[in-house]
Chains A and B, each alone.
Chain A
Amino acid sequence: MNTALLAGRTVLVTGAGGGVGEGIALACATHGANIVIAARRTETGDPVAAEIVRRGGHAISVRCDVTLRADVEAAVAAAIDTYGGLDTMVHNALAHVGPPREIEDVPDDSWRSMMHTALRASYHCAQAAFAQLRARGGNLILITSAAGVEGSPYIPAYGVVKAAQRGLAKSLAREWGPLGIRVNCIGPVAMTPAMKISAEKSPVFTDGLLIGRTPLRRIGDPEPDIGPVAVFLASDLSRYVTGQTIMVDGGGFTAF
């Protein structure tokens, strides 16, 4: 008997070419899942798939711009063609959020790219995966943020799109629960490539403010800290959990 939590299941992760998406993909692979790495650039996605294979797992890499419905549908089709179906869709991809700004100073292209990569892509991912998730009792996981609950004083557009994703997840949990589909969110804080850039530019924020409010006193590591929570949500361990947001942030955000 294979006791791996995700043995025989297929997990598609968007934005899996680095950061949180990569960590989730690696963690799910460790627990036996077949992985579809969906990344906008194959230069970042291919090495992650190769690493999973090197470790003895199963993974493919597909080029996927999540703002394009056809790309997301093609990624789901690749999961079906390669592994026979899709059990879990993880939408993690997000455009670069940019530097702190007052709302009046946020460039149009920054607002739109966040709206499209976070929210429109959630719509794409949910609809593209729906038939598979319904057929297999699967689940949808959206990567959101504490900013989607408490608002962001620095990047207001980020808070808006992350909150909207939570509203969508709660609604789909109610709508799709009777069909056997679970929908949840993860709100991570992790040392991603984007976070590293922020840390270099603004150590006061990362080393001071962010770690200062985090009881565990460190920024999370995508694979060992964030990934296991995605494994939990993708597995039967969470079979009675839906419509929830799990903050995986070292305790930084504690209020609900």
Chain B
Amino acid sequence: MLITGAHPLAIGMANALAARGDDVRVVAAEPGSGWSTDRTIACGFASEAEVERALAEGVAQLGGLDQLVHAWVAPGLLVERPFDEVAPDEWITACEGSLEGAWWLMRHLREPLASSGGGTVVFVVPSIALAGAAGFSMLATVAEGLRVLAKGCGRQWAKNAITVNTVATAPHHWVSDHAGAVLTRAISLSTPAFGTQGDVAADLAPLVAALAGTDMHFLTAGTLVADGGLWMGL
């Protein structure tokens, strides 16, 4: 299994899935806190060639690929920023760069998954993709784009026995606690139904693991909102 990204959500997911017995490599510019260098494949998502090379290295290290969890976004997306203050280079690097990184990844992912007889792809995004977010317009823009990239690939790759789904998590897994609280209040009039926005290892990783299991083989292009019962727009 490959997991992209080195922020706490991605690393928490990697550790939890490794603890369940999965052979995991993290694809990121540098090892995240709490994850070892020798299980990290360096990739800054700066070019299609770099992404292709990192993917190939990951497949080689793992001896094949069954699942990819895409949680990487450019770090610039995770900082609160009024839209009218977003500079052109920020927009291009953070917003367009995050979408392009995912686009490049998907252009080279089908073949190794199909070679393994099929597989699963899970995009992990904040649920502000669905709700929108003041101060995080670039993050929501990217998240919604990723969600529909998953749908497009889900449509095209079912014939290869590959499912592509999205897990939408609570905002606080992505942004500061203060910003997460503000966004939470904007998303819903109430607190999450479970009273918590979830623990990565206990609440979110099992969902990703379930999507990789054979029981979920008929679910593709779906969005599973796993924010503890906060956003309920569908």
Contact = CB atoms under 8 A, between A and B. Distances in A.
Interface of A: 69, 102-104, 106, 108, 111, 115, 119-120, 123, 126-127, 130, 147-153, 156-157, 159-176, 243, 256
Given A119-B99, A172-B137, 14 more contacts: A103-B107, A103-B153, A119-B96, A119-B145, A120-B91, A126-B83, A148-B148, A156-B152, A156-B156, A160-B145, A167-B144, A171-B128, A171-B134, A175-B137
B133 A160 contact: no
B204 to A, nearest CB: 21
A167 B143 contact: yes
Given A127-B83, A168-B140, A175-B83, A160 B88 contact: no
Interface of A is mostly: helix
A214 to B, nearest CB: 19
Contacts of B95: 119, 123
Nearest to A151: B151
B103 A160 contact: yes
B73 to A, nearest CB: 12
Contacts of A123: 86, 88, 91, 95
Given A148-B148, A175-B135, A103 B143 contact: no
Contacts of B144: 148, 163-164, 166-167, 170
Given A115-B99, A164-B141, A170 B132 contact: yes
Contact of B99 (A164, A243, A256): A164
Nearest to A166: B144
B131 interface: yes
Contacts of B151: 150-151, 159
Interface of B: 48, 82-84, 86, 88, 91-92, 95-96, 99-100, 103, 106-108, 110, 128-129, 131-137, 140-156, 186, 221, 233-234
A162 to B, nearest CB: 7
B83 A171 contact: yes
B221 A173 contact: no
A171 B133 contact: yes
A239 to B, nearest CB: 19
Nearest to B149: A160
Given A115-B99, A157-B103, A175-B83, A167 B149 contact: no
A158 to B, nearest CB: 9
Nearest to B164: A151
A176 B83 CA distance: 9
